Amino acid sequence: MTTEATPGAPAGEFRVAYDAALVEESVLLAERRFDADRAVAFRAERDHIYSVHDPEEREARFEELHGRYFLQLGLDRPLHQELAGRPQLRLRSCGCRVLPATSRREQSADLRQVQVGAAASGRPTIVLQLTAQSLLDPERLHTLLRRELLHVEDMLDPGFGYVKELPLADTEPALANLLRERYRAVWDAAIDGRLCRRGLLGAPARTARLTEFARAFPMLGERAEAAFATWFDEPRPTHAAIVAFVQEPLGPESGDETRCPLCRLPTPALERGARGLDPEVLSAIEGQHPGWRPEHGRCARCREVYAALISVPG
């Protein structure tokens, strides 16, 4: 389902397209809130469509019905409101696609280049992944959209200098996972800091982000809150600065750090020897790092990462 152009955008230049299955699911969830008259009318119209014999026409009628109710219920309104106040998004992208997310944790925003024939179009498309439940919760949806769309603004800002792949992403899987987790913790801190200063988030957001930040950088210890404040208060973060911090959270000149031989990141202490190390985890580490031995040590986070890897089916 494609909605009208975003308010404030030139006609035909920026449109929001919702996945048909997501629209249907959200309308069917919203049906539980219909008053008696609306529920009877909706169900009668929907049941009538089942009598259409041609599969394509039947599907088209279902999409029209669900799309009409989707707009009548205002389920498109939060996204349009959030996009309306972000002219740079409309100028630097060609539209927005809203796809289903498999869970709340998987909800996100990204940019994708659309292929036109054999070549890519000039401006990317914003791709949002949302759950139907989120579309029915406007207050939480506004908060989610503010965060995710500010991520997209950074990605489109030449001054931020976003690069999708982090260093070592193609050579060290475990390290890549750590870097992504830590990168996200820093970026999210900078995002929420800006939103808090604009009055769009409350004080609990800072506490939640600090907890995530400290968990991502255990080597900082008591210094975690001061490091977090630097990013939370940063008005214009850059991708390069975040990457540099993620790789050297204690600073390149720090003399009191111990580095994990697996991920090469600072850690408060190394776990040495095979004691407490599951044989499958040990095998997984040795498979990724030929020549490594338990007595060389590993950080607690690497142990957790490899334990998680072997627990994934397939």
**Cross-strand pairs, 110:** 127
Mean pLDDT of 261-271: 78
* Strand 258-259 with 15-18, pairing: unpaired
- Please report which confidence band the pLDDT of residue 314 belongs to, taking 50, 70 and 90 as the band edges: very low
Contact 27, 73 (CB under 8 A): yes
- Please report which confidence band the pLDDT of residue 146 belongs to, taking 50, 70 and 90 as the band edges: very high
What pLDDT does residue 119 have? 47
- The Cα–Cα gap between 232 and 206 comes to 8
- Please report which confidence band the pLDDT of residue 277 belongs to, taking 50, 70 and 90 as the band edges: confident
Rg (CA), the chain: 24
- Please report which confidence band the pLDDT of residue 215 belongs to, taking 50, 70 and 90 as the band edges: very high
Q: Answer yes or no: is pLDDT of 73 > 50.
A: yes
Report which of 284, 246, 285 is spatially closest to residue 265, judged by C-alpha positions.
Answer: 246
Question: 39-48, 142-151, 269-278: lowest mean pLDDT where?
Answer: 269-278
Question: 15-29, 160-174, 277-291: lowest mean pLDDT where?
Answer: 160-174
Residue 15: count of CB within 10 angstroms of its CB: 16
Phi, psi of 208 (to 5 degrees): -65, -40
Q: Token pair for residue 70?
A: 């989707």
Report which of 129, 95, 76 is spatially closest to residue 15, judged by C-alpha positions.
Answer: 95
pTM for the complete prediction? 0.79
- Please report which confidence band the pLDDT of residue 106 belongs to, taking 50, 70 and 90 as the band edges: very high
Q: Answer yes or no: is pLDDT of 99 > 90.
A: yes
- The Cα–Cα gap between 11 and 220 comes to 51
Tell me the percentage of the chain whose pLDDT exceeds 70. 88
Looking at mean pLDDT, say which of 12-26, 48-62, 109-123, 297-311 comes out highest: 48-62
Tell me the percentage of the chain whose pLDDT exceeds 90. 60
**Residue-range domain boundaries for the chain:** 15-147, 173-247, 258-311
Mean pLDDT of 261-269: 77
